[in-house]
Amino acid sequence: MSDNTMSDNKITSIFAVVVAAIITWGATVDRFFKAGMSAAMIAFAFYVAYTLWKRDYLKDFSIDIYIRNAFLALYGLMIATTLFHLENMQNLIGGEISAMGLVAFTIPFWLILYVGWKTNVTKSIIFSFSIWAFLVCAYGMYDYHVKNLSRLVSVYNFPTRAGSILVMCIFFTAALLWYYRKKRFQVVLYSALLGLEMISLVLTETRAAFLALAASGIVVAGVVLFRYKQYISKRVKVLLVLASLFLTVLGAGYSVYIGRESSYRMMGEERPLVWLSTYKMWEDYKILGIGASEWKAAYAGPYRPMESREAGILSHPHNMPLYFLATGGIVGGIGYVLYHVFFLMYFLKRTLKSPDDPFAWALFAIFIAYAVNGFLDATIVSKQVSRIFYLLLGVSIIFDRWHLREA
């Protein structure tokens, strides 16, 4: 290899490391830097242009068939149903929630995968993630105490959104803690970060996030017990069962504790009304739904309950299965179900293939939390939550790729 080639490779690697950091920040700091994702896409475009100019083409790039099928099922079928609702183009693009807008939320996944496929950018991502997670917790606690808020919001619009994101952070930080378990400084660092994330999550008072955290822990523990029962000692089995019981009691108990102040909050605020109205939307438009961008107007208009306090404000029904049924009909509902089935199959296969990869297990837990949270809040249709989920999914695949290569 010539000196010029080595120099070019070094420049490409440095470029990739910087762009990976920009992508990580662009996908996570939405509220304070609105152009963050645009900046990430511009940096990515320069990176691609440079590599093409140097004829440094990306080779053997591939996406697992289960992930491809999941994307095709959900986004493909939603776009297909939207073609029958083009009397309002915002159903396709430009609406508060639109079919192409949902697809755009996956951009961090594709960008980080492309950049990290040839170059090991994991250290850059870890550094960027760690700073971001610390800032989310630190600013959230500062804001909570200084403004005397009733619930922690941090850099996000709503406490529910902060809760959803903190659950993902908790599992990813736990993976980092395990990954660096033999390095004292990192153990102290990520133990502290994990503690801050847990405290921040409690201060959000978000029941959906707590239930998602508990459910994902129980599911992952169940998979470990079922799959590796003959290799696990009785003590470990007992610990896993006790941990599952603890999470169950914690999730249920915390939900009751948060709702103690009012019957309105105990009953999930407006959610029962919203869910009933959303179901009625589906009853009237069973096959193709009302259109991706039409839910807000429908709930504020013909499907508004008399007791509603939030009609005209809510843009989703706090329930993802009902949202996709109402806006995409049976076709959209099938896409939603297949999306989760394919992703579940992917994570079961991946954890079986790489049982010692903490990031595979972390993303499995994050996916379960993402799915469970979707029954009570916005996940797939939330730009902030989805971008971070897809970013971490891409990051975990990069870790898997380089972890296996090093092994």
Instruction: Establish if 296 belongs to a structural domain.
Output: yes
What is the overall mean pLDDT for the chain? 88
pLDDT tens across 383-398, in order?
999 999 999 999 999 9
Q: Are 388 and 165 in contact (CB under 8 A)?
A: yes
Dihedral sign, Cα of residue 305, residue 309, residue 310, residue 312 = positive
Q: Are 14 and 374 in contact (CB under 8 A)?
A: no
DSSP notation for 224-277: HHHHHTTTS-HHHHHHHHHHHHHHHHHHHHHHHHHGGG-HHHHTTTTHHHHHHH
Model pLDDT, residue 266: 44
364 lies in which domain range?
A: 64-104+271-376
Which of 127, 98, 118, 104 minimizes the C-alpha distance to 38?
Answer: 104
Model pLDDT, residue 144: 93
Instruction: Establish if 170 belongs to a structural domain.
Output: no
Q: Are 122 and 398 in contact (CB under 8 A)?
A: yes
Instruction: Establish if 326 belongs to a structural domain.
Output: yes
Instruction: Establish if 229 belongs to a structural domain.
Output: no
Instruction: Establish if 262 belongs to a structural domain.
Output: no
Q: What does DSSP assign to residue 368?
A: H
Rounded CA-CA distance 355/347 in Å is 11
DSSP3 helix / strand / coil % (the chain, rounded to 5): 75, 0, 25
Q: Three-class SS of residue 41?
A: helix
Q: Are 400 and 354 in contact (CB under 8 A)?
A: yes
Total domain count, the chain: 1
pLDDT tens across 171-186, in order?
999 999 999 999 999 9
Segment 134-144 shows an average pLDDT of 94
Residue position matching structure tokens 């159903």 = 91
Instruction: Establish if 287 belongs to a structural domain.
Output: yes
List, in order, residues 6 or more apart from 60 with CB less than 8 Å away: none
> Cα dist. 378→26, 156, 310, 324, 396 in Å?
21, 13, 15, 12, 23
Instruction: Establish if 11 belongs to a structural domain.
Output: no
Which pLDDT band holds residue 289 (cuts at 50, 70, 90)? very high
> Cα dist. 293→52, 80, 324, 339 in Å?
38, 14, 11, 20
